[in-house]
């Protein structure tokens, strides 16, 4: 084991070393901090790095473990949080320059649960401003893909995906409205889960798409992802929309094969679009693996899922605008990124009658998605019809009606929005690499509160393929990239 192996290990592997006292939590924290100092001036995965706080927590964890008070597999494990989730004395900036801290001392329930389990907060991950996924200018530096910085790292929970792929933390929490966890997981080659709406408390998350926002984990392996979700899930009196359903031990559902499992490939979200040749080859290979594991895979049509894209824009975006317009947009128009403010301002113009009709129409999409689970255990789709794009090509510029169709309704959105509107659990799992060495992924969705089946399929597939064992060579991919200096707690936005 060396300093290039340890940061890419799974939580399970790191936890075993900590429990056996072969490494200390302080060793792991210091290693990540050194890597952040070295690489984050290029990757921009972090807004705030709370080094002193993390070291204090690591020393406390070390002392507890030495005294035999081991709390479990997250004890001493460093993690990051999308800077949209409150963390007490660590500021929550929302990647905005409007005010230095939107958290006001609040600590999110998910953060409290992780820290009760002994996990160590190492910092706050960079994101698209206010988590809207439309940023043009990044106040804290534009996140870069660690596999190839010329390519996009996807949108919103971007820093969370980058930090896990680059070995800058063991896990991170993101937020997913329409794909903001799954997208960065896809582009950065890690595992990202949008849990069932209500499975995880949203208390302390600064989120305003009331009927779709979820908090979920990004990790390097499926087992790690299941562990984090199991830790943060469960009913919370502070969130009346959180479910009282018991949280299972997801690891108990892992199996080496998928015999008896019935899977459906959703045509509209996978093969009815023009696929990039490498994506097409990846999908065929992934389906072959699933069949080789004993699963049956059939194709189904869910024609209403294509309406999820406009319905998302007509419902969740106005939910956000209803709060932002009054609180911040009118007062601080010039301080918003142009992409963020344009999207919010446009959503504020949606008439209430249209919003109400769109909310009713969402039920039709949801019901069609749910109907598929009457016959199938899980649904399989692509995460995108193309691989991650070069940065200059990933900026969506809408100049005509044709652009709306080409860029908005035939993009990743049609792969992720339907499961958001249906409020079912969905996971992005690494499934291959392009000739340019950027990741590709498939998506696995299950019926509400059946994360166990989702994880079962994903884990068996992951173990049969081994894509999770590949990691970016930062010395090679970031050689010669421009640096702008590291940040620590209290640092100012990039100029």
- Tens place of pLDDT per residue across the chain (495 aa): 677 899 999 999 999 999 999 999 999 999 999 999 999 999 999 999 999 999 999 999 999 999 999 999 999 999 999 999 999 999 999 999 999 999 989 999 999 999 999 999 999 999 999 998 778 889 999 999 999 999 999 999 999 999 999 999 999 999 999 999 999 999 999 999 999 999 999 999 998 888 999 999 999 999 999 999 999 999 999 999 999 999 999 999 999 999 999 999 999 999 988 899 999 999 999 999 999 999 999 999 999 999 999 999 999 999 999 999 888 999 999 999 999 999 999 999 999 999 999 999 999 999 999 999 999 999 999 999 999 999 877 666 667 766 666 665 556 699 999 999 999 999 999 999 999 999 999 999 999 999 999 999 999 999 999 999 999 999 999 986 655 444 454 444 432
Active-site entry in 96, 134, 135, 156: 156
CATH 3.90.1300.10 corresponds to the domain 6-477: yes
Instruction: Say how far residue 46 (Cα) sits from the centre of its chain.
Output: 15
Of 82, 113, 144, 447, catalytic: 82
Tokens of 238: 């502070």
Q: Write a three-state SS string for the chain.
A: CCCCCHHHCCHHHHHHHHHCCCCCHHHHHHHHHHHHHHHHHHHCCEEEECHHHHHHHHHHHHHHHHCCCCCCCCCCCEEEEECCECECCECCCCCCCCCCCCCCCCECHHHHHHHHCCCEEEEEECCCHHHCCCCCCCCCCCCCCCCCCCECCCCCCHHHHHHHHCCCCCEEEEEECCCCCHHHHHHHCCEEEECCCCCECCCCECCCCCCCCEEEEEECCHHHHHHHHHHHECCECCECCCCCCCCCCHHHHCCCCCCCCEEEEEHHHCCCCCCCHHHHHHHHHHHHHHHHCCCEEEEECCHHHHHHHHHHHHHHHHHHHHHHHHHHHCCCHHHCCHHHHHHHHHHHCCCHHHHHHHHHHHHHHHHHHHHHCCCCCEEEEECCCCCCCEHHHHCCCCCCHHHHHHHHCCCCHHHHHHHHHHCCCEEEEEEEECCCCCEEEEEEEECCCCHHHHHHHHHHHHHHHCHHHCCCCHHHHCCCCCCCCCCCCCCCCCC
Residue 494: its pLDDT value, please?
32
Rg (Cα) of the chain, in Å, rounded? 21
Active-site hit among 154, 157, 180, 243 = 180
Whole-number Å distance between alpha carbons of 127 and 147:
18
Query: How much is the pLDDT for 29?
Result: 98
- pLDDT at position 409: 57
Supply the pTM of this predicted model. 0.95
Catalytic-residue membership of 160: no
Contacts of 251 (CB under 8 A, 6+ apart): 223, 226, 227
Provide the pLDDT for residue 133. 78
Task: Return the residue matching tokens 């949108």.
Answer: 155
CB atoms within 10 A of CB 360: 9
Is 156 labeled as catalytic in the residue annotation? yes
Nearest C-alpha neighbor of 323 from the set 197, 421, 209: 209
């Amino acid at each position: 084991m060396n300093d290039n192996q340890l940061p890419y290990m799974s939580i399970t592997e790191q936890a075993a070393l900590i429990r056996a006292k072969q490494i200390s939590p302080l060793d792991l924290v210091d290693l990540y901090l050194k890597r952040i100092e070295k690489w984050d001036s290029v990757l921009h995965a972090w807004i705030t790095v709370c080094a002193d706080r993390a070291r204090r927590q690591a020393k406390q964890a070390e002392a507890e473990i030495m005294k035999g008070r081991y709390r479990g597999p997250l004890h001493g494990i460093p993690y990051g949080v999308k800077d949209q989730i409150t963390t007490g004395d660590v500021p929550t900036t929302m990647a905005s320059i409007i005010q230095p801290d939107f958290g006001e001392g609040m600590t999110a329930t998910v953060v409290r649960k992780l820290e009760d389990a002994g996990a160590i907060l190492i910092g706050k991950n960079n994101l698209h401003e206010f988590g809207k996924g439309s940023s043009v200018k990044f106040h804290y530096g534009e996140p870069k893909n660690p596999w190839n910085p010329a390519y996009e790292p996807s949108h919103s929970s971007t820093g969370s995906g980058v930090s896990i792929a680059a070995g800058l933390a063991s896990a991170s929490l993101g937020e997913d409205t329409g794909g903001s966890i799954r997208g960065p997981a896809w582009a950065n080659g890690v595992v990202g889960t949008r849990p069932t709406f209500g499975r995880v408390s949203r208390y302390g998350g600064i989120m305003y798409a009331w009927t779709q926002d979820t908090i979920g984990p990004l990790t390097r392996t499926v087992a790690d992802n299941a562990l984090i979700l199991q830790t943060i899930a469960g009913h919370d009196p502070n969130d009346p929309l959180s479910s009282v359903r018991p949280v299972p031990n997801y690891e108990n559902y892992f199996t080496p094969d998928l015999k008896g499992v019935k899977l459906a490939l959703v045509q509209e979200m996978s093969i009815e679009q023009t696929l990039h040749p490498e994506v097409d080859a990846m999908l065929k290979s992934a389906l072959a693996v699933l069949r080789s594991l004993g699963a049956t895979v059939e194709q189904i049509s869910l024609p209403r899922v294509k309406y999820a894209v406009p319905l998302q824009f007509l419902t969740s975006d106005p939910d956000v605008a209803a709060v932002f317009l009054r609180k911040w947009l009118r007062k601080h128009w010039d301080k918003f990124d142009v992409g963020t403010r344009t999207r919010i301002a446009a959503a504020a113009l949606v008439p209430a009658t249209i919003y109400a009709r769109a909310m009713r129409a969402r039920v039709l999409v949801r019901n069609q998605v749910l109907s598929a689970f009457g016959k199938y255990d899980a649904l399989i789709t692509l995460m995108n019809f193309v691989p991650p794009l070069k940065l200059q090509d990933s900026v969506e510029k809408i100049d005509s009606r044709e652009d709306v169709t080409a860029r908005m309704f035939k993009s990743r959105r049609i792969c992720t929005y339907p499961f958001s509107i249906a409020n079912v659990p969905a996971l992005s799992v690494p499934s291959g690499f392009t000739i340019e060495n950027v990741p590709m992924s498939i998506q696995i969705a299950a019926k509400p509160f059946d994360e166990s089946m989702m994880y079962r399929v994903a884990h068996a597939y992951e173990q049969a393929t081994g894509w999770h064992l590949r990691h970016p060579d930062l010395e090679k991919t970031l050689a010669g990239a421009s640096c702008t200096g590291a940040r620590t707690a209290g640092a100012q936005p990039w100029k």
